[in-house]
Structure 1
Amino acid sequence: MEGFFNSINKIFEFIVPVADFLWDFPTNFQWYSNIPIIGKFSLAILLLVGSGIYFTFKMGFVQCTKFKKGIKILVEKKSHEAGISPLASFLLSSAMRIGPGNIVGVTGAISVGGPGAIFWMWVSAFFGMATAFVEAVLAQIFKEKKDDEFVGGLPFYGMKILGNKRTIGIVLAVLFIVYAMFCIPAQTFNIVTSLSSVVETITGTVYERQSLLYYAITILLIASVVVTVFKGINGVTKVTDKLVPVMAIVYVGITLVIIIFNLDKVPVFFTAVFAGAFKPQAIFGGAFGVALAQGIKRGLMSNEAGQGTITMAAATADTDHPVEQGLVQALGVFLDTMVIATMTGIVVVMASLWAAESGVAWESIKGSKLTVYLTSVQYLIPGTAFDSIATIIISLCYGLFAFTTLLGMILFAEISGNFISKSKKCINTIRSLGAFIFVPFGCLTVLSGLELGNLWYISDLVNILVVYANVPILLLGCKIVFKALDNYNSTKGAKFNSLDIGIETPCWGNYETHNYKEEKEVSM
């Protein structure tokens, strides 16, 4: 078995340099990297942040001016004949956003760029809220109706904006399906290892990977995924509706308790973040660009604004106006980065394990981001009964973050599959691939004691390809969003008809039927 997995890992070895090259391009060329400040940023970061800044100014800082309206939309209770509620859509997208990256990603940014990375993470999230608004509105405008559900997202609006060519939509759909499927084993690995860690902490026993415990967790996980994903969008949202708010509240709550234990260190956090944003300590390279690049990159990878991965959730909502879902998804970025990710940052910075006085061998642990975080927790509450409790709860949250992300991956792959074919056979094939192939594969890597680092890079590779595809499409289609926002403001949020902004859509306005029939072409 080990030889089999090592062979697979070897096959995908070529993925690592390709993924790194595309994520870092053109910083991997000396002539570019020598440029002051800007030479620290890859094309991907410039595209994502640059578009966010552009959208923010063009829409009059909509993420600020309509922040309260977004909250009001979330708490409103309305009957829905099709699709899911805005709140359910918000929780579904949050299931994808709030993942293990909120712990290990943020910890990694601080470990490399210092506390100042958090400041730049906030900055990227602020502009990312505008980007999330744009892609969510496009997803809503060009969504389609399937039975009693709505489907849409990048493949759907990508096709319409790029000349209404179905081939383009199919390519985007396949790209996302591949991305989603190859993200599943990593999330499976996170779930199994975190749950086993919880059991080990409770029992005080270290279990071998081939023990009954790991097999039991594997069976339970596969069964849970199968039961959930084969119920479709409504089945998954019933789970995310319950898990997302619970795990978010629990994680924030446990962090607040840790902060209360260390109130004297709160000023240290803010001082370190704002000072480190412009002048990182020597241990983190001492260069302004290091904190900047790490904060922006990790922030974008955490909240996923502009990557197109949340657009499937945005399309599922039944709402009166596409702009309403844009406001809801902007709030999702806020929750993910400004709240959840910041809580992680507070713990890591208050502990400051890199400081000599901490007594921690920083160089020996900084490579493992989860170890850094859990050690930070233990450092801030040493020798208390709360120490073990906090470790258990955080490990459990980590596993739940991964579980909801896994469900989201399979569901959004299914929605992409809906673009290719709405047949039951196609949809069940995608569900089966996720539940019976990729989830068990991730479990087997745990049982074999392997992590298959090269294989995980496939998700990084496809992710950057999606970014390079999605952001230009957003820039080409943003005029439609601007018109929709003007319509929303002028009508004070009245029922939307896409014909009012000059385009035909399947769900919002068609010259022939004004109903749920697909139009022939889109007027740009």
Structure 2
Amino acid sequence: MLETINSVIAAISDVLYQPWFVPLFLVVSGIYFTFRCRFIQIRLFKDACKVIMEKPESEGSISSFGALMISTASRVGTGNIIGVSTAICLGGPGAIFWMWVTALLGGATAFIESTLAQIYKKRAPDGSCYGGPAYYMRDALGKRWMGVIFSVLIILIYAVGYNMLAAYNLQSTFSVFKFYHPVITPAFIGVILAFLFGVMVLGGAKRLASITEILVPFMGILYVLVSLLIIFLNIRNVPGMFASIFRNAFDFQSVMGGFSGSCIMYGVKRGLYSNEAGMGSAPNAAATASVSHPAKQGLVQMLSVFIDTLLICTATAFMCLSTSVVPTEEIAGAVYVQNAIASTLGTAGPVFLAVAMMLFAFTTLLGNYSYCEGCLEFILHRSIKKHELLLFRLFATAIVFIGAIANAGLVWDTADMLQGMIVVVNVPTILILGGTAIRCLNDYVASRKRGENPVFHAKNIGIKEETDFWK
């Protein structure tokens, strides 16, 4: 039965990642928004760095930085380690180049979807804000049914697909240690992880923000520093590393021979898994920020894509490829990264990675879950009752345990399938609504040129739909 389910999921995933489907959606939308926004990734990069440190508009609200850390907690996780490792081992070093491409193009896409989420965000009874793609699908497109489909997919991919994968990837990092038992160890780690996760999700969005504001920057900086140390100690291999990345990335004869297993496809899959640009996930966090102008949070979420892929994923890739460890299909995942670290730092390497993965995986679980409760409310079209919320949290907690004891094929294929499906729903929507976000960007730039702190009013760019915050 399990094999049948796995084969069906794998078959659907293979269809979604044919070159004319999800990859085309992501590339076309990324190129289109890059040109429409006049290369915002470069032009307003400095602005994005400034905006990130602004205080929230109302006291006690979630800041731009807090919202960024919630979304980054989801992005900067096991995908930056295990995802990069599998991309290199299964697709070749050239997969890293195509991950860079998805991130550079995805920065513009991330700006559009997060700006739209800010424009159409809703006011909660306590004065805070919430929202996401489901709300701009309902309020701007007038398609609540599409928002329901999107919300169902968000819950499936984050509470189920990605959280199963995060739990699995964490326990897999312990497989190199002598005490590891293929049945007992995953179950033991699953119990501990599920217990800690269950305790933390009772704290709500603001508590999640406070936790991730501390853990995410700390773990990211420490991980990058260790990566830089290993790259420096293997500096003689760096020229060959770059040569292998670009040689493999443009080996089109090999790509045409089998696109589904090529460096391009693994670059797209793992790039999407790590930075999520175009999936509509980060806008759920972006909508919670209290800012004076929607474009500000769009810029901040654009920056998150770069932090994730161009910084942390690249650190993992360079750290591994600069060593003498040869990437093979047999060591794809945590083992390749651990072997690479151990080849330079000795036995301390695998221990460091296990600790890093515990931090990465835990914040990933929390960041992923933070998207789900709002989507459940959207589906129900009412507030969640206490007993319903308890059941949902218990379900999400159980999934964490199941992920820890599941097999690699099932968790990876499930995540790939679901993330592909959500791209198919979200990207056409933002292509239709993108003009609104671009007018919002122009309004922001005009205010900056006048030397003003941009303050947004929906009527200034011709928005006729009712908005809760921008009257």
Same-fold status (TM-score > 0.5): yes
For the structure 1 residues 67 and 443, does the alpha-carbon distance in structure 2 shift closer, same or farther, using more than 3 Å as the test? same
Root-mean-square deviation over aligned CA pairs: 2.9
* Aligned with 1:324 (options 296, 313, 337): 296
C-alpha distance in 2 between matches for 1:171 and 1:94: 24
On the 8 A contact 1:136/1:326 being kept in 2, the answer is: yes
* Aligned with 1:153 (options 132, 135, 159): 132
TM-score by length of 2: 0.89
**Post-superposition offset of 1:321:** 0.4
1:47-101 CA-to-partner distances (Å, cap 9, x unmatched) read 1111111101111111111101111111233563364100011111101111211
C-alpha distance in 1 between matches for 2:380 and 2:57: 29
In structure 2, the gaps of 5 or more residues are none
Residue type of the partner of 1:223? Answer: F
* Aligned with 1:19 (options 12, 36, 39): 12
1:386-408 CA-to-partner distances (Å, cap 9, x unmatched) read 32222212122223222222112
* Residues 228-247 of structure 1 aligned to structure 2 (within 5 Å): 228-247=200-219
1:210 is matched with: 184
2:352 is matched with: 393
Structure 1 residue 487 and structure 2 residue 466: aligned? Answer: no
2:401 is matched with: 443
C-alpha distance in 2 between matches for 1:85 and 1:143: 15
**Post-superposition offset of 1:285:** 7.3
1:126-171 CA-to-partner distances (Å, cap 9, x unmatched) read 1110000000001111111112431111111111232x23333223
Residue type of the partner of 1:365? Answer: E
* Aligned with 2:273 (options 275, 294, 301): 301
On the 8 A contact 2:137/2:144 being kept in 1, the answer is: no
2:91 is matched with: 113
Residue type of the partner of 2:296? Answer: E
Residue type of the partner of 1:397? Answer: A
Residue type of the partner of 1:465? Answer: M
1:429 is matched with: 388
Residue type of the partner of 1:402? Answer: A
On the 8 A contact 1:52/1:128 being kept in 2, the answer is: yes
C-alpha distance in 1 between matches for 2:152 and 2:180: 41
C-alpha distance in 2 between matches for 1:501 and 1:333: 27
Residue type of the partner of 2:330? Answer: I
On the 8 A contact 1:170/1:420 being kept in 2, the answer is: yes
1:521 is matched with: none
* Aligned with 1:97 (options 62, 75, 94): 75
C-alpha distance in 2 between matches for 1:469 and 1:427: 30
1:304-329 CA-to-partner distances (Å, cap 9, x unmatched) read 10011111111111111000011101
1:365 is matched with: 330
* Aligned with 1:473 (options 422, 429, 447): 429
**Post-superposition offset of 1:257:** 1.4
* Aligned with 1:374 (options 317, 335, 338): 338
- 2:370 aligns to what SS in structure 1? helix
C-alpha distance in 1 between matches for 2:89 and 2:51: 38
TM-score by length of 1: 0.81
C-alpha distance in 1 between matches for 2:309 and 2:364: 16
* Aligned with 1:315 (options 287, 299, 316): 287
1:313-356 CA-to-partner distances (Å, cap 9, x unmatched) read 111111110000111011001011110000111022223534xx
* Residues 456-471 of structure 1 aligned to structure 2 (within 5 Å): 457-471=413-427
In structure 1, the gaps of 5 or more residues are 1-6, 26-40, 355-361, 515-524
On the 8 A contact 2:172/2:334 being kept in 1, the answer is: no
C-alpha distance in 2 between matches for 1:281 and 1:115: 16
C-alpha distance in 2 between matches for 1:364 and 1:457: 16
On the 8 A contact 2:166/2:361 being kept in 1, the answer is: yes
For the structure 1 residues 506 and 418, does the alpha-carbon distance in structure 2 shift closer, same or farther, using more than 3 Å as the test? farther
C-alpha distance in 2 between matches for 1:290 and 1:466: 22
Computing the radius of gyration from Cα coordinates, the structure with the larger value is: 1
1:253 is matched with: 225
For the structure 1 residues 323 and 94, does the alpha-carbon distance in structure 2 shift closer, same or farther, using more than 3 Å as the test? same
C-alpha distance in 2 between matches for 1:283 and 1:128: 22
Residue type of the partner of 1:187? Answer: A
- Report the count of equivalent residues: 463
C-alpha distance in 2 between matches for 1:445 and 1:270: 35
